[in-house]
Structure 1
Amino acid sequence: MPVRLTDLPRLLGANELKPAWLIAGSEHLQVMEAADQLRARARDLGYAEREIHDVDHRFDWNELTMSGAAMSLFSMRRVIELRMPTGKPGKEGSAAISAWCADPPPDTLLMITAQEWSKKHEGAWFKAVDKIGVALPIWPLKREETPRWISARMKSRGLKATPDAIEMLAERIEGNLLAAAQEIDKLSLLVGNTLLDVDTLESSVADDARFDAFRLTDAAIAGDATRALRMVDGLRAEGAEAIPLLGWLLNQLRVLLRLSSASGTLAQAFQTERIWDAKQTGFKRALRAGDAAHWERCIVHLGRIDRIAKGRGAGDVWREIERLIMAIAMPRRGADLLGADR
């Protein structure tokens, strides 16, 4: 049976780890931290080699088979990581993972991570992993659960806060746990053992550059192209790193794509995506202006920007980000800027 995140410490405390693990969910921070804990425990148990495979639609699943058949160069335990963002391996991938689980190689741990997850993902390969290993789907926190998570996170960092301050931070981060974690780490350094109140939190968050990415995407989705482009200029002038910004842009574009493709009412989709009332007007505007095909083109263009940022493609990263922001803010006019990606 699939396990919960609260079960992870117990599972990692065993003398031996299960041969296959799946850690999946749209809560990227929790997926990342759970995967980090598994890697750390694996190292403690002698899994000294690590092999990473990024799974996309061009991935050759024979690579997984060959990795399983290959012997360790130094006769050490190995971790084989499959980074599968969509959580959908396809027919060939499902067969390859199922075959691996049917006869797992000795001294080898298979770790699969995914950034999207729902009950619809639970196919034959998922059952194969669950049968011999650990399936850990991480579900998004509900709005009422967020303050409790923030409180526990603060406590783990030695930070004390008033209930009002905790509630304020929950409202400010609007369900983004990564933003909350970053802010809590900063506050723990600034505040120390002093009780964190609303005034201190307000002054800290108001001028925090960490939130520029969130403000930028909010402006673009709301259709305020002028403000969004001005923010891009500011980030570039400050020497900001493009890759973290791209991560949040990808997150929001995937939300727009899921919303535009969702069945049922928009209100239900907003609830599923945890889009709070304050942001719904902007998302409604974006969904009226752009269809699913447009958001898919935006995601493709973002992939091109990511390759440029990592030195794998030619072009000006910030110029391409400007084009993407225009396409988000003004889908009908800005779509022409993505023409090269069609």
Structure 2
Amino acid sequence: MSESRTTVSLVPPATRRRTGSRPSAKTPGRSWDEPALAPVVLVRGAEPLLTERAVDGVVRLARERDPEVEKVELEGATYTAGQLTVAASPSLFGEAKIVVVRGAESGTEDLVQDVVAYVARPDEETTVVVVHGGGQRGKKMLDAVIRSGAPVLVCDPITRDGEKASFVMNEFKAARRRADADAVRALVDGLGNDLRELASACSQLIADTTGTITEATVDRYYGGRVEATGFRVADAAVAGDPGAAVSLLRHALSTGLDPVPIVAALAVRLRNLAKVAAMRGGGITARDLGMAPWQVDRATKDLRRWTPEGLAAAISAVAQADADVKGEARDPVYAVEKAVLAITQARRG
């Protein structure tokens, strides 16, 4: 990519609403992208990018209400008694305040005691945002905030491919850009292991391209990524094309790609086939499987050339390759090539 490309902030535009995944059953509350103003707001979850966006959303609302609002930040791990009281107190000239307490999951006992006391009698002119990275540490504080009726913005990690695809589509939708299903798939396949990197890629494509974002567009920018290369090998193997699969594999290995992520990509593709095959019995939906509709459609087409026996053989070959490349074989390169050829042969069988 060119060194002069535009860098785009990851902070979502002010118009964004309801573009994230819904809160999970284990973490009650509202989505991270549905900010609300209240004397106390709890931002809870282990996904750093989403917690940042949730806080930014609350700050944005506070500044829409009062452009002169003063923002104060406190750190839970270094908090000392009384800091919250001082930070939340009206300023000398009466400006509104928003206090962000970060890292509450690592907070001191002083922080727990001060937050519990504060939520019982909060200042109505101040917004205190408590950011908790998940877990049960500081439970007394969490319980007090939740019992007070404060809004809870949920920032659980986005782990399922279907949720990642929805995240990508909503990034483009928020920027009023179109992206086809293959482009979304390519981004999730290539960069889906890190949500921040996925969001950054979306921002970069929005800034540097025009028109509909296609798979070719994504390939031009991110085709050399480790994960994307592994999925190309997997696509060719699942399609039953040994020549293309081995050629792609050898090229990837010659450029320094480790066999481990290639085997992981093979496993993901075959796992999706097995999941969709299980849907044929009825009672299981794409949502249950954590897959996007385009992933189900693609796997369904692939399965037309696969038998249950062939799929089982391919999965066994990849399981053996996984063990081999992680230490059970002297030649991991040979192990992954053997697995690729086994998949192509199983597909044709």
Q: TM-score, normalised by structure 1?
A: 0.53
Q: Compared with structure 1, are the counterparts of its residues 111 and 203 closer, same or farther at alpha carbon in structure 2 (3 Å cutoff)?
A: same
CA distance in 1: counterparts of 2:81 and 2:149, whole angstroms:
20
CA distance in 1: counterparts of 2:28 and 2:65, whole angstroms:
23
1:5 correspondence with 2:23 = no
Whether the aligned pair in 2 keeps the contact of 1:51 and 1:79 (CA below 8 Å) is yes
1:151 correspondence with 2:169 = yes
1:83 correspondence with 2:109 = no
1:204 correspondence with 2:221 = yes
CA distance in 1: counterparts of 2:81 and 2:138, whole angstroms:
19
Query: What's the CA shift for 1:26?
Result: 2.3
Q: Compared with structure 1, are the counterparts of its residues 159 and 106 closer, same or farther at alpha carbon in structure 2 (3 Å cutoff)?
A: closer
Whether the aligned pair in 2 keeps the contact of 1:158 and 1:188 (CA below 8 Å) is no
Select the residue among 140, 143, 158 that pairs with 1:127: 143
CA distance in 1: counterparts of 2:193 and 2:47, whole angstroms:
9
Whether the aligned pair in 2 keeps the contact of 1:20 and 1:133 (CA below 8 Å) is yes
Whether the aligned pair in 1 keeps the contact of 2:32 and 2:50 (CA below 8 Å) is no
Structure 1 residue runs without a partner (length 5+): 212-226, 228-276, 286-342
CA distance in 2: counterparts of 1:6 and 1:81, whole angstroms:
15
CA distance in 1: counterparts of 2:183 and 2:33, whole angstroms:
29
Deviations 1:162-195 (A, max 9, x none): 21221111111133221112111221233322x3
SS at match of 1:8: coil
Structure 2 residue runs without a partner (length 5+): 1-26, 229-255, 257-317, 328-349
Q: Compared with structure 1, are the counterparts of its residues 205 and 125 closer, same or farther at alpha carbon in structure 2 (3 Å cutoff)?
A: same
Q: Compared with structure 1, are the counterparts of its residues 185 and 79 closer, same or farther at alpha carbon in structure 2 (3 Å cutoff)?
A: same
Query: What's the CA shift for 1:98?
Result: 0.3
Letter of the structure 1 residue corresponding to residue 187 of structure 2 = L
SS at match of 2:34: helix
Select the residue among 26, 36, 42 that pairs with 1:22: 42
Higher helix share: 1
Whether the aligned pair in 2 keeps the contact of 1:20 and 1:110 (CA below 8 Å) is yes
CA distance in 2: counterparts of 1:148 and 1:109, whole angstroms:
31
For 1:53, the equivalent position in structure 2 comes to 74
Q: Compared with structure 1, are the counterparts of its residues 175 and 4 closer, same or farther at alpha carbon in structure 2 (3 Å cutoff)?
A: farther
Query: What's the CA shift for 1:125?
Result: 1.0
Q: Compared with structure 1, are the counterparts of its residues 122 and 4 closer, same or farther at alpha carbon in structure 2 (3 Å cutoff)?
A: farther
Q: Compared with structure 1, are the counterparts of its residues 99 and 2 closer, same or farther at alpha carbon in structure 2 (3 Å cutoff)?
A: farther
Select the residue among 97, 110, 134 that pairs with 1:117: 134
Whether the aligned pair in 1 keeps the contact of 2:105 and 2:138 (CA below 8 Å) is no
Letter of the structure 2 residue corresponding to residue 80 of structure 1 = V
SS at match of 2:122: coil
1:74 correspondence with 2:100 = no
CA distance in 2: counterparts of 1:197 and 1:203, whole angstroms:
10
For 2:180, the equivalent position in structure 1 comes to 162
Identity over aligned pairs, percent:
20
Q: Compared with structure 1, are the counterparts of its residues 122 and 136 closer, same or farther at alpha carbon in structure 2 (3 Å cutoff)?
A: farther
- Supply the RMSD in Å over aligned alpha carbons: 3.1
Q: Compared with structure 1, are the counterparts of its residues 33 and 43 closer, same or farther at alpha carbon in structure 2 (3 Å cutoff)?
A: same
Letter of the structure 2 residue corresponding to residue 73 of structure 1 = L
Q: Compared with structure 1, are the counterparts of its residues 7 and 49 closer, same or farther at alpha carbon in structure 2 (3 Å cutoff)?
A: closer
Whether the aligned pair in 2 keeps the contact of 1:4 and 1:137 (CA below 8 Å) is yes
Letter of the structure 1 residue corresponding to residue 82 of structure 2 = N
Whether the aligned pair in 2 keeps the contact of 1:18 and 1:132 (CA below 8 Å) is no
SS at match of 1:87: helix
Q: Compared with structure 1, are the counterparts of its residues 138 and 53 closer, same or farther at alpha carbon in structure 2 (3 Å cutoff)?
A: same
SS at match of 1:80: strand
SS at match of 2:156: coil
For 1:92, the equivalent position in structure 2 comes to 110
1:105 correspondence with 2:123 = yes
Task: Report the structure number with the largest CA radius of gyration.
Answer: 2
CA distance in 2: counterparts of 1:6 and 1:110, whole angstroms:
16
CA distance in 1: counterparts of 2:170 and 2:87, whole angstroms:
40
Letter of the structure 2 residue corresponding to residue 72 of structure 1 = S
Whether the aligned pair in 2 keeps the contact of 1:24 and 1:87 (CA below 8 Å) is no
Q: Compared with structure 1, are the counterparts of its residues 93 and 163 closer, same or farther at alpha carbon in structure 2 (3 Å cutoff)?
A: same
CA distance in 1: counterparts of 2:90 and 2:183, whole angstroms:
54
Q: Compared with structure 1, are the counterparts of its residues 81 and 7 closer, same or farther at alpha carbon in structure 2 (3 Å cutoff)?
A: closer
Query: What's the CA shift for 1:150?
Result: 0.8
Select the residue among 11, 32, 36 that pairs with 2:52: 32
Alignment of 1:295-314 (within 5 A): none
Letter of the structure 2 residue corresponding to residue 81 of structure 1 = V
Whether the aligned pair in 1 keeps the contact of 2:79 and 2:107 (CA below 8 Å) is no
Query: What's the CA shift for 1:207?
Result: 6.3
SS at match of 1:199: helix
Query: What's the CA shift for 1:121?
Result: 4.2
Letter of the structure 1 residue corresponding to residue 38 of structure 2 = K
For 2:62, the equivalent position in structure 1 comes to 42
